[in-house]
Chains A and B, each alone.
Chain A
Amino acid sequence: MAYFLQQLINGVTLGSIYGLIAIGYTMVYGIIGMINFAHGDIFMVGAFIALIAFLALTALGITAIPLALLLVLIIAMVLTGVWGWTVERIAYRPLRDSFRLAPLITAIGMSIVLQNFIQVAQGARVKPLQPIVTGGYELFQNGSFTVIVSNIQILIVATTVVLMTVFWLVINCTALGRAQRSCEQDRLMAALSGVNVDRTISLTFVLGAALAAVAGLLYLLYYGVIDFFIGFVVGIKAFTAAVFGGIGSIPGAMLGGLVIGLIETFWSAYFTIEYKDVAAFSMLAIVLIFFPTGLLGRPEVEKV
């Protein structure tokens, strides 16, 4: 029971990170109907920006951890947002009205570019960071096994919950959110009603990238080590999460993130760690066979 609870805590933490990234996939899919394959690498760039910003702030003499983390968060969100904007502008906007596979190929190309750019610019070695947020709470003890919630886990879940709430408010209660939802339903009609479609799509990418940057920072703090390749694996998992929850649905992305995080953690805890990805992917295939549009996805109505 204690072991189960500990794994539950770990799984929710991992799921929160997946969920934050999955939102970027699901939002972009909702609005322009493409798989943004480069999103996982935007997450990786975000983690690198966070790492370098943190080191730079330390070098500048800002050593108060809360202040430094807040500054790093802001810098990472802004700069990664610029990356997201640039990727959309260069690789996706020229192909907006092209056929479906064209932006998918540029997205894969962009993913290769980002990975190799970071590899060339920052080196291929893994980048370690000493633990910044330490400590934790012992929940209870069962025999020799102690259930621990570390501060970083609390921070991750709390940040995710806060951001989700803010994000939900943005989507539902602001002009940007309205514009976004209208573009999602009918881009041409939205344009005719005075919505600036290009800007709305750009902002969607910026928002998604900013959330990915937060995920990158949290990943960096949680695991303490990043390299140029993390974007691929984490990105695929997050995309799986988005599809799992029903791509295009934002609560679905969160739910999918949690489910994938939990499957992965429990599989590693009770079965073999080598096959945790197989478990997550097989679960995806099984769920999709029974719910072909994901858990919370709207069924696709096809007009003939």
Chain B
Amino acid sequence: MAEPGKTLGQKLSAALADSLLAAIIAFALFSLVLGLRTIDNVTGLTLEPRAVLLASVVGIVFFCRLFLNLFVWHADYPLTTPFAKLFTLAPFERRDIATLAVTAALGVIGLAASFATSNPLYGLIGAVLLTVVGLGCLRRAIFRTFPDLPYAQIFIAGGIAFALFFPIVTYAIESTFHLGMPLRYWFDLSILVLTYVMLGWGLNIVVGLAGLLDLGYVAFYAVGAYTFALLATHFGLGFWVCLPIAGVAAALWGIILGFPVLRLRGDYLAIVTLAFGEIIRIVLLNWTEVTNGPNGIAGIPKPTFFGLPFSPFADGTTFSSFFEIKYDGLHAIIFLYYVILTLALLTNLITLRLRRLPVGRAWEAMREDEIACRSLGINTTLTKLSAFAIGAMFGGLAGCFFATRQGFVSPESFTFIESAIILAIVVLGGMGSQLGVAIAAVVMVGGFEALRHTDGLQAIFGDGFDPALYRMLLFGVAMVGIMVWRPRGLVPTRAPTIALKDGRAISADLVGQGRA
């Protein structure tokens, strides 16, 4: 720890010693698991040394740590200060402007180098640097010019408007000008993101509002999906009939699973919900007569538009023949998009309304203090069960949608990692914040799903680079990173549900969460 009084030499040696220690630890960590690779042979396993890789990883750790030690952690004026200032209204000093200018210049140089050498890696770095500086300055300029605008409301309204018009507008542009936009991929990705937004909002009721830590939420998603799949394949029922049935079935399961855990608290509750999630998955996997086991159930019908199917064949009235337009496979996908958007917004609306009802207030009261809640005469049994049931219902609805979108369900889709991702979305977004959950879903699911299809990365890291392989690794790193960076989630303020006079946003630190 270099104090301001220390000389440059002392600082340098302290930084070097610290970085060397970090390098030694990195060597200990990676020497065996990264430095040696096990290779399958006819005779058994053999080892293949990867000294260069190991040395470069240790070297990267050493130099990054040295850089951070010298310029960020123990520096008199940390290099990160100007960038942090972009997010505040604090006045700039001359060295802040200098740092940002140098960063922007580096970004331009990166872009130029990328064009000169046709190596996209420089271009990527340059673009990232320029984007950070550019957007940061823009944001700061807007905030300084109009300090009193209701930014959150504008952002929400903009987001909803974008979600509402995005497919129609892009589809109209594409069908008029034929730009070759990958619309199908965009719509699929948006549908996926919206599904997770809906799941996040559903779990938010259980975790964020009622404060019950549920690690097996995916069980209700599975119940919804299988309810629809079985009803559709055995009895030929359609999506719109099955949607409420799936919701009710999942809610029932929520109550059934809720009963045994009423007495449990904290981590005992967490492990039992996790166990229930696994039990349901294992039963789906092994109860072959009903669920068709690991092979799953295929041939699940798509939803109809008020009874009009999306089909190219003209047996009866179809969507395209009724409206007398040319058949396009995208119509069905756009319709699916609007279905999930409606479901997600419905979840949000119901949650917001429930928070104003006595039951919603009881949830939040129970989250803050269960004993005080009981002594005030609130029936915590009913409160907990209602939270489980309503949370599960939305999970079931999302599951029903998932089944119709995929046309196929199998136990593969309902592993613990799904529960973990949904919970991560809720917590990373800032529990209890509806907007935060939506942002987190876009960042986590959208960001990393997009990474899977980024062919440009091959050009940067060589042909052997498979982004899909590193996708989950990056996902985990992002989970840890965001949490350490912003422990209270991406939206760290809450609007109180009820207030005496003017409802002012409060810091999330004041909200008790995930205790019961």
Contacts and interface: CB of A to CB of B under 8 A. Distances in A.
Interface of A: 29, 35, 45, 48-49, 51-53, 55-56, 59, 75, 78-79, 82-83, 86, 90-91, 94-95, 98-102, 104-106, 108-113, 115-123, 125, 127-130, 232, 236, 239-240, 243, 247, 272, 274-275, 277-278, 281-282, 284-285, 288-289, 292-294, 300, 302, 304
Interface string B489-516: 0000000000000000000010001110
B85 interface: no
Contact of B29 (A56, A82, A122): A82
A147 B146 CA distance: 82
A289 B260 contact: yes
B32 A53 contact: yes
B469 A120 contact: yes
Nearest to A85: B25
Contacts of B278: 236, 277, 281
Nearest to A290: B263
Interface in B424-466: 424, 427-428, 431
14 contacts: A56-B36, A79-B32, A95-B483, A99-B509, A104-B213, A105-B427, A106-B484, A109-B478, A113-B477, A243-B267, A274-B282, A274-B285, A281-B276, A282-B279
Interface stretch (B44-52, B92-100, B136-144): B44-52
Interface stretch (B9-17, B186-194, B415-423): B415-423
B272 interface: yes
A98 B264 contact: no
Nearest to A292: B263
A82 B25 contact: yes
Given A101-B213, A106-B479, A122 B286 contact: no
A125 B476 contact: no
A78 to B, nearest CB: 8
B276 A82 contact: no
Contact of A110 (B38, B274, B476): B476
A115 B341 CA distance: 34
Given A105-B427, A117-B473, A289-B263, A59 B47 contact: yes
A111 B274 CA distance: 16
Contacts of B270: 35, 104
Interface of B: 25, 28-29, 31-34, 36-38, 40, 44-47, 207, 213, 260-261, 263-268, 270-272, 274-276, 278-279, 282-283, 285-286, 371-372, 416-417, 420, 423-424, 427-428, 431, 469-470, 472-473, 475-480, 483-484, 487-488, 509, 513-515
B443 to A, nearest CB: 14
A232 B483 CA distance: 22
Contacts of B271: 35, 239-240, 243, 284
Nearest to A100: B514
A278 B371 CA distance: 33
Nearest to B512: A99
Given A79-B28, A101-B213, A105-B423, A110 B37 contact: no
User: Which 3 interchain pairs have the tightest Cβ spacing?
Assistant: A109-B479, A112-B476, A113-B476
Contacts of B371: 302, 304
Q: Which of B261, B275, B475 has the most CB of A within 10 A?
A: B275
Contacts, number: 191
Contacts of B46: 55, 59
B80 to A, nearest CB: 16
A109 B424 contact: yes
B47 A112 contact: no
A202 B260 CA distance: 36
A97 to B, nearest CB: 9
A127 B427 CA distance: 36
B169 to A, nearest CB: 36
A111 B268 contact: no
Given A79-B31, A304-B371, 14 more contacts: A53-B32, A79-B32, A83-B29, A98-B488, A101-B213, A104-B213, A108-B479, A115-B472, A128-B44, A128-B45, A129-B44, A275-B282, A284-B275, A289-B263
B33 A281 contact: no
A224 B304 CA distance: 53
Contacts of B283: 278
Given A79-B32, A105-B423, A278-B283, A129 B264 contact: no
Contact of A120 (B282, B428, B473, B488): B473
B472 A52 contact: no
A288 B513 CA distance: 23
Contacts of B25: 82, 86
Given A99-B488, A116-B472, A275-B286, A48 B268 contact: no
B484 A94 contact: yes
A293 B479 contact: no
B424 A105 contact: yes
A274 B291 CA distance: 15
Contacts of B372: 304
A114 to B, nearest CB: 8
A198 to B, nearest CB: 14
Contacts of B479: 105-106, 108-109, 112
A95 B489 CA distance: 13
Contact of B38 (A101, A127, A300, A302): A127
A35 B267 contact: yes
Contacts of B431: 101
A277 B284 CA distance: 13
A86 B38 contact: no
Given A53-B32, A95-B484, A128-B45, A288 B268 contact: yes
Nearest to B50: A121
Contacts of A236: 274, 278, 416
A247 B275 contact: no
A216 to B, nearest CB: 12
